[in-house]
Structure 1
Amino acid sequence: MKKFLLFLAFLILFIVGFFGYTFYSTGYFREVNAVNNFGPTYAELELPGVEDMALARADSLVILSVDDRAKRRQGESGLHGLYLIDLKEEKLQALELTKDLPFPLFPHGISIYPLDSGTYRLMVINHVDGKHSVESFLLSGKTLQHIETITGPELMSPNDLVLVSPEAFYYSNDHGSKSSLGIFAENYLGAKLANVGYYDGESFRIVAEDLAYPNGLAYDKNQDLLYVASSRGFLVRVFSVTEDGSLEKLEDIKTQTGVDNIELDENEKLWIGCHPNLITFAAYASGKKEISPSEIITIDYQKGQAPQQEIIWTDPGSQMSASSVALPFGDFLFLGNVMDEKMLILKKN
């Protein structure tokens, strides 16, 4: 009887510890109120699931990765593909770029790289029927031409990518496990089993491991740095990029929020869409909750200096749920999300 009671006590302590750690480390107890340190809402675009964005800065074009995940979750057909906003036009509206593609495109992370004047290489992660690929395009003006499909077993669970040349890119595998037990450990225990890979234009290789749900990526070419958002780790990992594309870890920047996609402004400051409560976000994504809180933060990082963080915008989910990306341009800030029915555009006062 004593052994049984001892075992029962240990079991109860384990269960309490498991749930306590999971809820605490995912931000469940955090209260999220409305905060706006940027400016009021300028416009709302009725586009669902604008999960990621890319900026063609020289031509004032924003490319949107659109997927109506809410409808797909319900077994319905919804909008999906790449859209373009011309910021030179007075009325901001989205133009569909991929309606004539001969294959389905359910985009996730996207990245853009300037080529000649007015032309860009654009790559996007595509998920179709459980299979993953990277689709490569040429953007010329407002015309998109498909170049090639890149795939391989190293694309285990690709989430985001960032181009470092017209052909080479880094990408994040947000899970490293295929078993349900391993995925459970990654999602709820924060097991560091996922990784970052590198494609040099010809082949893949894994260049960073031991990451908890790596998500958004950004490359700072001026400092030769790669930033990797670890959503489950509540941190941004900073790597130094070597000449052959390998990565050397410099440090972890703790963020106290579930960081998603990372964008760099003209001063190399990081703008990050975040999920401050991952448990609520998971329930929202599965259709068990109607809203999920949003948060936008910035990080000013310089080698040898302490990172400077700032909260720019938070919302409990009443204005926009599940923010995943924040892209600044001039006086505007474009806010996207995982599966809300609209995106927001803020404008400085």
Structure 2
Amino acid sequence: MKKIVNGLFTLLILLLLCLGFILKESGVFRKIAPHFDGTAEEINSPEGIEDLTIDHSNGDIYLAATDRRDSEKTGAIYKANTHQKDLNLIDISKEFPDTEFRPHGISLLKKHGKIYLFVVNHRNKEHVITRLDYVNDSLTGFREFRDPLMISPNDILAIDTATFYFSNDHSLPKGTERTIKDFMLDKNGFVVLYDQDKAEKVTQNMAYANGINISPDEQYVYVSATTEKKIFVYRKDPKNHTLEFIDEHNTGTGVDNIEIDQYGNLIVGAHPKMLKFLGHAQQPENRSPSQILKIVYLPETDYKFLQEELYLNNGDPLSGSSVGAYFEKKDGTNDLFIGSVFESKILRLHRNL
């Protein structure tokens, strides 16, 4: 009997330690002190602008929107220009014939004198990568890419017209096993290179592979692992596009999409309290803090990374931030745009320098 009691006591201790680990890693004990050095403007938008990207040559901003609380609804791609005083979101995908179009991650490619938008597209029974040709405020043509390795694609990074990387946040289908492994920080996500009709895994496994982007000189590829709270850095081979792991940075928060500013700095959307974000996913009334980081990668230094928290709120006015994009205008003014997974608005923040 004593052995049974001791065994149960040991099991209870292990369960409590496991629970404490989950709560700590998800940010439950973190104190939120909202701050931003500037002014905030709320802009009404379609639901779920989970990802957006800016063309730094002209200030055009492209936004991927899908209502993730209604699986029957389809989404759209919108465009605006950061120089507009009143941001006017134009639906540039309204002529796109896909009746199951649900864009997620988005990547802008300017190549061969043309503009392309690559998007992760969650159709009813399959995930595809869709390349859209952008001409005169309209998406005029498209190509779809399919592969068995498109298991749970999240974000995308376009390299050429038929070459891109995408992150699989999981290698498991949705279900109980995947949920349990998420809480245990199981590393079953990874990055895939798709190059000229051939796909291959090009990174190690990581816990919830999410945002992906590239340095302006195309030397480094950055990948966020949300539940690991890390940014991984890879050296990109210029010929065959394979990736070599070289660095990692513990951000201390649930990092999501990665955008790159004019200077090559990483602007990262994040979820500082991940369990609150899960609650927000269930009910919009459950507010989840929004956070934007600026990360500078300095590979020639001993410390390698500099991290600055540009923005933090307690869930209002925007809940569940997933992406931030920073744009510096020629007149010296600066805008920080923030999108989220579920909200029907975005933020435009005018930052004081």
Range of TM-score over shorter length: over 0.9
Which residue matches 2:137?
142
Deviation at 1:288, TM superposition (A): 7.7
Structure 1 position 280 matched with structure 2 position 276:
yes
Cα drift, residue 32 of structure 1: 1.4
Residue pair 1:193, 1:209 contacting (<8 A) in 2 also: no
Structure 2 match to 1:58: 57
Q: Secondary structure at the match of 2:205?
A: strand
* Deviates most, 50-59 or 154-163: 50-59
Contact persistence 1:135–1:146 (CA under 8 A): no
C-alpha separation in 2, matches of 1:99 and 1:223: 33
Asked if structure 1 preserves the Cα contact closer than 8 Å seen for 2:75 and 2:102, the reply is yes
**Residues in 2 aligned to 1:46 and 1:161: alpha-carbon distance in whole angstroms:** 23
Aligned equivalents of 2:175, 2:216: Cα separation in 1: 38
Instruction: For 1:135-284, list aligned pairs within 5 A.
Output: 135-178=130-173, 180=175, 182-222=177-217, 224-242=219-237, 243-284=239-280
Higher deviation after alignment, 121-130 or 310-319 = 121-130
Which of 107, 118, 122 is the matching residue for 2:117? 122
In the superposition, relative to structure 1, how do residues 6 and 291 fare at CA in structure 2: closer, same or farther (>3 Å)? same
What is the aligned-residue identity percentage? 27
Match 1:346 to one of 339, 346, 349: 349
Per-residue CA distance 1:211-247 (angstroms, 9 max, x = gap): 0001000111416111000100011011111231211
Give the CA deviation at 1:284: 1.1
Q: How far, CA to CA, are the matches of 1:285 and 1:214 in structure 2?
A: 19
Q: Which amino acid aligns with 1:327?
A: A
Query: How far, CA to CA, are the matches of 2:175 and 2:58 in structure 1?
Result: 45
Q: 1:42-66 CA distances to partner (integer Å, 9 max, x unpaired)?
A: 3423332110012222232111001
Conserved? CA contact 2:296–2:306, under 8 Å? yes
Counterpart in 2 of 1:110?
106
Alignment of 1:20-99 (within 5 A): 20-37=20-37, 39-70=38-69, 72=70, 77=73, 80-99=75-94
Letter matched to residue 111 of structure 1 = S
Q: Which residue of 2 aligns with 1:335?
A: 338
Q: Distance in 1 between matches of 2:31 and 2:204?
A: 32
Q: How many aligned residue pairs are there?
A: 343
Question: Matched residues in 2 for 1:88 and 1:342: separation?
Answer: 19
| Residue in structure 2 matched with residue 19 of structure 1 by the alignment | 19
Secondary structure of residue in 2 paired with 1:40: strand
User: Aligned pair in 2 of structure 1 residues 288, 110: CA closer, same or farther (>3 Å)?
Assistant: closer
Q: Distance in 1 between matches of 2:125 and 2:6?
A: 45
What does the per-residue CA deviation read over 1:154-209, in whole Å, with 9 as the maximum and x for residues that have no partner? 00000001112232111100012237454134310101111110011321111112
User: Can you give the 5+ residue segments of structure 2 that lack an aligned partner in the other structure?
Assistant: 329-333
Contact 1:67 1:81 in 2 (8 A): yes
**Is the alpha carbon distance of 1:124 and 1:69 closer, same or farther for their aligned partners in structure 2, counting shifts above 3 Å?**
same
Matching residue's letter, 1:52: D
Farther off after superposition, 251-260 or 287-296: 287-296
Give the CA deviation at 1:99.
1.6
User: How many Å separate the matches in 1 of 2:320 and 2:41?
Assistant: 19
- In structure 1, C-alpha distance between the alignment counterparts of 2:125 and 2:256, rounded to whole Å: 22
Mapped to 1, the partners of 2:274 and 2:85 lie a distance apart of: 37
TM-score (norm 1): 0.93
* Partner Cα separation in structure 1 for residue 200 and residue 175 of structure 2: 25
Q: Could you give the per-residue CA deviations for residues 304-332 of structure 1, whole angstroms, max 9, x where no partner exists?
A: 22210000000110210000000111211
Contact 2:111 2:160 in 1 (8 A): no
- Residue 101 of structure 1 aligns with which residue? 96
| Counterpart contact for 1:270–1:298, Cα < 8 Å | yes
